[in-house]
Chain A
Amino acid sequence: MISFSQVHKRYPGGYEALCNVTFEIAQGEMAFLTGHSGAGKSTLLKLVAGIERPNSGSVLVNNQNVGVLKSSALPYLRRNLGIIFQDHKLLFDRNVFDNVMLPLQIGGFDHKESAQRVRAALDKVGLLKREKANPIALSGGEQQRLCIARAIVNRPTILLADEPTGNLDADYASDIMAIFKSFHQVGVTLLISTHDAGVLQSHDKVRVLNLKQGVLQSNLATQTPL
């Protein structure tokens, strides 16, 4: 599903973000990407989504080599991904409902069907009653859940989450982890980056990829929490 092979990523200016990273995540697997900030977690996720391209090595997503994909083909790759951004990237010029509607408009879905899907996604994250609200009126945890609703409304096969519990207190964080677990149970592939070791403790057996200064430290199939 996601496969990195000897991937190097150097940003202009010479900063080496990822160095010789090789790993594979199978379909339906749930994996955590850990490491301190600056370790290259966000860069790795950006490579998966084609937001950045590797300097060398290959990044395969759904058997497509993202690194050499034409710009015009990128949108179709991204429609199969659900991305949960660290900074949410919500649009404050429209209400909660329309924020979640955006991916379906892009996909060209029929309005009636879209509305049903949007409500289902909002229900899933517990925001159904706030559909008319402006995202700016939502709390941090609610904004994060809104971002999740937008990422899943398209029913993606792969879900990427960049620090989804970064700024949240423990209660909210465990809510969100429970949502992720439910996606895992229906066969969605998940790659979740976090610097928060507490998150891992709530999972008894998880796949953990640990990055340190751009180098993959451990790549264990399953690992008991720290």
Chain B
Amino acid sequence: MTRRWKWLIPAAALPVFALLAFGFTVNHRDIPSPLVDRPAGAFALTSYAGEPMTLAAHRGKVVVLNFWASWCYPACYEEAPVLERGWRAYKDRGVVVMGIDIQDTPEAGKKFIDQFSLTFPNALDPTGRVSVDYGVYGVPETFFIDAKGRIRAKHVGAVTEDVFRRHVDRLLAEGG
């Protein structure tokens, strides 16, 4: 290889290094959901309180749909009090918080609900169909659904006060 072409060797390695550098800047677990800005999937479950729990019943309200499990420690344990406080603070302003317990046993799910004195509706997804329908690949995951029934945001990981307020306030401000 002549001298004038030798610069090609390091030049060829540059794109590879650039690609690796880009890989370090992104969170590989943060997979964008194709469901954002699409209608939220309908579901009909029976809540732990024994009542029907459907999305359709809350059309016209902002819905915070949280997927959790009793074995999901510590993230689900961190966000449970946050969701409960959010539910109590916003329930009179047209916001509904709903929890879906996945890959869990009813006993463990009930124990979790009792432990955090959760008052918002929670239901077990026994077949996992609802979680697949929402493209859930881990817990906790939370979907913020607008009054028209469209998924507007997906949050992976424990919901904080800031995350809850930011999404809910935005959707409330947008109105119906």
Tell me if chain B binds chain A. Answer: no
Report B's interface with A, CB cutoff 8 A. none
